[in-house]
């Protein structure tokens, strides 16, 4: 090969390299701040109300990725790719301190959440103390309120967004002693370093409404707070339809009391 051709080839390689965005630029990432990986554009069609209400298929959404089995208890779960990157970093840091974080539940779209809700509504899945809600609570508002202790109405779940994950166990008691307590204490001390916050803290004066405490539910705030702001501005109770019991959404005030009824530490980040 002549020297001229070699020079031309080198020039082409350099030119192509300089024009290709770095991986961090393509992902919207900044290595200096793990909590600022992406800026959500509220005007982008992927982040409109249909997205917030879960009317899409995570497996087919370009911003979602499947959770690798080494991070999960089963195959087939999806999260937003940016939240997933942050979780992988957090998982590695926890592992160094003998804490294993395992994703038990991740993105759930409207149809998935509808299945959870209606199985509880009809009594197919029992709720607290093994009760059949359809028998124990014939009044629709009362029944909905009982289910809402831990399960969201379809259209209102943060799991629609791909930003929220459930970790290790679905019982608060697990995290109160032994290895579970070690895991929870690690998350309380370090999860914020990776952008995650416990969305449902104990209820009290600073959080009078919303779901009961969930020590397992952690939300990736750099995405979730922006989506929460859009939900507050654009979503109303009368839009929450398409499933059994939806008619009581407005009477309960699910947008204000449940979507907005989160841990104050997880807001305005």
**247 secondary structure, DSSP code:** G
In sequence order, the β-bridge partners of residue 166 are: 105, 217
What does the pLDDT profile of the chain (269 residues) look like in tens digits? 444 443 333 343 333 333 333 222 222 233 334 433 444 444 555 458 999 999 999 999 999 999 999 999 999 999 999 999 999 999 999 999 999 999 999 999 999 999 999 999 999 999 988 999 999 999 999 999 999 999 999 999 999 999 999 999 999 999 999 999 999 999 999 999 999 999 999 999 999 999 999 999 999 999 999 999 999 999 999 999 999 999 999 999 999 999 999 999 998 65
Number of helices (H), then strands (E), belonging to the chain: the values are 11, 6
Domains of the chain are 27-266 (3.30.1380.10)
**pTM for the predicted model, two decimal places:** 0.82
Q: Which two tokens stand for residue 38?
A: 């992406």
Radius of gyration of the chain (CA): 21
Q: For residue 205, give the 3-state DSSP assignment.
A: coil
Question: What is the predicted pLDDT for the residue at 241?
Answer: 97
Whole-angstrom Cα distance, residue 224 to residue 46?
14
């Amino acid at each position: 090969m002549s020297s001229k051709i070699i020079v031309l080839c080198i020039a082409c390689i350099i030119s192509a390299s300089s024009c290709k965005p770095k991986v961090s630029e393509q992902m919207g990432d900044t290595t200096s701040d793990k909590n600022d990986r992406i800026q959500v554009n509220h005007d982008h069609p992927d982040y409109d109300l249909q997205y917030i209400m879960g009317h899409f298929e995570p497996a087919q959404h370009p911003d979602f990725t499947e959770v690798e089995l080494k991070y999960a208890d089963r195959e087939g779960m999806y999260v937003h790719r940016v939240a997933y990157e942050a979780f992988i970093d957090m998982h590695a840091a926890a592992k160094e301190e003998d804490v294993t974080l395992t994703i038990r539940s991740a993105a759930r779209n409207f149809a998935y959440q509808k299945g959870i809700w209606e199985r509880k509504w009809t009594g197919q899945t029992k709720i607290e103390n093994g009760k059949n809600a359809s028998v124990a609570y014939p009044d629709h508002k009362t029944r909905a309120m009982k289910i809402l202790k831990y399960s969201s109405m379809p259209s209102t779940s943060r799991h629609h967004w791909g930003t929220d994950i459930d970790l290790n166990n679905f019982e608060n008691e697990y995290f109160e002693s032994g290895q579970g307590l070690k895991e929870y204490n690690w998350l309380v001390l370090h999860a914020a370093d990776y952008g995650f916050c416990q969305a449902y803290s104990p209820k009290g004066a600073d959080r009078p409404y919303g779901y009961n405490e969930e020590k397992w539910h952690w939300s990736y705030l750099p995405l979730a707070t922006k989506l929460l702001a859009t939900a507050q501005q654009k979503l109303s109770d009368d839009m929450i339809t398409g499933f059994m019991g939806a008619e009581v959404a407005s009477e309960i005030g699910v947008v204000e009391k449940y979507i907005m009824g989160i841990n104050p530490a997880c807001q305005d980040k």
